[in-house]
Amino acid sequence: MEIEKILLGQSSEKENYVYPENSMPGSEAFSICFNGGYFNGEKTCIGGKGISGYHILTEGSLMCTYNDGRKIKVEAGDIFNCETEDRVELEGNAGIFNMIMGNGVRGFIRTFQLKGKKMMRVGEGVGESYIAFIGLNGTFTLEYEGEKFYCEKDSAVIVHAGKKEFGRVVLTADGEDISVAAASGVQLLKHDFGKFIGVRFLERSEGYCKARLDIRPDHMNPIGTVHGGCLFTLADAVCGMAASSIGGVSTTVDSHIQFLNAAFRPKYLIAESFPKKIGRKIRSFCVEIKDDQDKLIATVDFIFYSLQD
């Protein structure tokens, strides 16, 4: 594993960390970029370039106006996302940390309270992964195999694990109770069947995901309704994303689909995943799938087992 510390800088346009080295957002080689900066009251637009992003405010507040009319006010510690077709206008005074993702990357930002020491398992099986740790209200130390990295204000520690490379890092709070943001991304490359059939994510947050599938002729069965396997794939994609957002690697141990209404040639389907119970190891979710007329087509129950220590 490779570990490095970066300074977040003063400009939100500055790219502090890009993989591969020297590639640019939107280019064919671009995978993931971490950066940070500060807004000083000016209006700034992000998104609209076919890439997605996850963002967390380190201080202050912003008003986020999306191109579909949504308006969200975010405060220090709040997380918001910008999907591939979103264009978001930001206005306010705030510090921000960004994780910008190119094609084939699944990523999230989540927060947790660091009390004393915490051991975390890092790495995933399907592709190279990156995780950036940022202290939101204090400082901490990250240790891996005897090497220590001190993370103070306006800095981040980034861990890079290769495909099927796993390790354990230890985070130690420099105080009694530190709020830490963890921005993690994994390169799915070709391991993304949901994207292959056209699943497009609309909204993501910790434990929640909403996605859309525009229906094509190859999604249909011989009697003119959306194929049951297509419905289940949509549910599996949205629920897998929600389960992963909790942190660590999860695997499905049980699932059950209920077909409630036939989907007769809809223009699109919308799936939303909600957590039912999140335990230390067992994570239970429900997915609702509706058509373009807001008719409930199916519900799907999933149970995941967390492989995170």
- Confidence tier at 44 by pLDDT (50, 70, 90): confident
Q: Are 290 and 297 a contacting pair, CB within 8 Å?
A: yes
Mean local confidence (pLDDT), 208-234: 93
Confidence (pLDDT) at 229: 94
pTM: 0.76
Is 143 or 307 the better-scoring residue by pLDDT?
143
Residue carrying structure tokens 């000016």: 42
Contacts of 38 (CB under 8 A, 6+ apart): 10, 11, 12, 94, 95, 96
Segment 249-297, tens digit of pLDDT: 678 999 999 999 999 989 999 999 999 998 888 999 999 999 999 999 9
In this predicted structure, the answer to whether residue 13 has a pLDDT above a threshold of 50 is: no
Could you give the C-alpha distances from 177 to 108, 116, 149, 248, 253, in angstroms and in order?
23, 8, 19, 22, 34
In this predicted structure, the answer to whether residue 101 has a pLDDT above a threshold of 90 is: no
Confidence (pLDDT) at 216: 93
Q: Where would I find the beta strands (DSSP E) of 145-217?
A: 147-151, 155-161, 167-173, 178-187, 199-205, 208-214
Mean local confidence (pLDDT), 76-102: 89
In this predicted structure, the answer to whether residue 116 has a pLDDT above a threshold of 70 is: yes
Mean local confidence (pLDDT), 157-181: 88
Is 306 or 307 the better-scoring residue by pLDDT?
306
Is 240 or 226 the better-scoring residue by pLDDT?
226
Confidence (pLDDT) at 190: 65
Q: Where would I find the beta strands (DSSP E) of 136-281?
A: 140-144, 147-151, 155-161, 167-173, 178-187, 199-205, 208-214, 250-259, 268-278
Average pLDDT, the chain: 86
Is 19 or 174 the better-scoring residue by pLDDT?
174
Q: Are 119 and 92 a contacting pair, CB within 8 Å?
A: no
Is 194 or 283 the better-scoring residue by pLDDT?
283
C-alpha span between 26 and 13 (Å, rounded): 15
Mean local confidence (pLDDT), 87-109: 86
Q: Where are the alpha helices (DSSP H) in 97-179?
A: none
Question: Going from the N-terminus, what domains does the chain have, and what CATH number goes with each?
Answer: 2-101 (2.60.120.10), 110-187 (2.60.120.10), 193-306 (3.10.129.10)
- Confidence tier at 202 by pLDDT (50, 70, 90): confident
In this predicted structure, the answer to whether residue 49 has a pLDDT above a threshold of 80 is: no
